[in-house]
Structure 1
């Protein structure tokens, strides 16, 4: 059994993630919309990265700014 190769599972190609803000044609992410902002945070309050959420660069920047503004006003933690 020393020469046997390990057979791993083959991964199927990952489905491309689509920015949900681009789909909805959102031009501005409002910091007062706490329910939406909470979806893009972990349980501890960290902002989720783009590779996990699938948001585009422009919307990720707007999202981060909106979350930071909402933290200052204490709408989200």
Structure 2
């Protein structure tokens, strides 16, 4: 048995591409600090404002249980996150969005 056979024994080829040294986790080479893509505010880039009359657009910013998602998850800026939370609350009162999904 050659040394190459010993290295490949126990390893299965599952058809995935080589993910690199970090295993596809997003770490930079040489450092332990993760690399991630900066999130941008949808409202700033598209020059729109959140509106309670458009519940389909607001559904992106709430969980399936009805909770408002935080800025660090959605990527909205502080100004638009405050406006977004008020518009979601208005939509809930007017029954466009649910308060809680069971």
TM-score (norm 2): 0.63
Deviation at residue 29 of structure 1 after TM alignment? 1.6
Paired residues, number: 69
TM-score (norm 1): 0.82
Q: Say which one has the larger Rg.
A: 2
Deviations along 1:7-28, one digit per CA (max 9) or x if unpaired, are xx462411110101100112x3
Note if 1:23 corresponds to 2:45: yes
Runs of 4+ in structure 1 deviating by more than 3 angstroms, as ranges, are none
Aligned to 1:14: 36
- Structure 2 unmatched runs, 5+: 1-21, 29-34
Aligned to 2:19: none
- Cα distance in structure 2, aligned partners of 1:43 and 1:30: 19
Alignment of 1:1-77 (within 5 A): 9=22, 11-12=27-28, 13-26=35-48, 28-77=49-98
* Matched residue SS, 1:68: helix
